Copies of this chain bind each other. A is one copy, B any other.
């Protein structure tokens, strides 16, 4: 089979407004039910069901049954990354007349990307962590330094435990709004959780927007200053 068909198989699946909307909604990281997804995509649940089963079959999504509910999520981080990439290209090729409204400005500043922080503040955090010597890039791979291991431990984040899991601790993820990288992986997820826990920011369900409080943002910037 030719590679063209392969790539068209995937892209064609994403290239349908309703399905794209569904995928985008799942980038918020929460697992959602079929009816919830139907609502956000403005279609009936039958239609949603059809779309969902197709995407399941193609392994773009994973599902988890709980009682009479079925919770859908993205199949993996590569899918989320792919969507970010598509957003990047879409952004670049969009007619300049329609450019960025106020809501997009917020998204540029801070949003959730699957399960970690993206946008300006996400990049700022990543840069800060490296500048502070807690992370290091070596041969394309992001590593936690010894200092970092110690530091995160004091903040209650057990790097060793994370390393036990199959999922990688640190990974980079390309940011469509800034064209730079931010931190993904289980550490990235943990750091976002920490931000939300300490009420520096809120994540309104159903949106990818992360809204920092004034004080929260100030503290955040201070902590991750380069």
Contact = CB atoms under 8 A, between A and B. Distances in A.
Interface of A: 1-21, 24, 41, 58-60, 75-76, 78-79, 81-83, 85-94, 98, 126-127, 130, 137, 139-140, 172, 180-181
A92 B14 CA distance: 16
Contacts of A60: 89, 93
B8 A15 contact: yes
A15 B24 contact: no
Given A20-B4, A24-B3, A9 B90 contact: yes
A20 B1 contact: no
Contacts of A139: 127, 130
Contact of A85 (B19, B21, B81, B140): B81
B88 A78 contact: yes
Contacts of A41: 4
Nearest to A91: B6
A92 B4 contact: no
Nearest to A2: B21
Contacts of A24: 3-4, 7
Nearest to A21: B4
A18 B79 CA distance: 23
Contacts of A87: 3, 6-7
A123 to B, nearest CB: 9
B86 A11 contact: yes
Contact of A5 (B20, B81, B88, B126): B20
Counting chain B CB atoms within 10 Å of each CB, which of A10, A19, A98, A172 scores highest? Answer: A10
A21 B91 CA distance: 24
Contacts of A76: 92
A19 B7 CA distance: 10
B127 A7 contact: no
Given A2-B21, A60-B93, A7 B86 contact: yes
Contacts of A86: 7, 10-11, 82
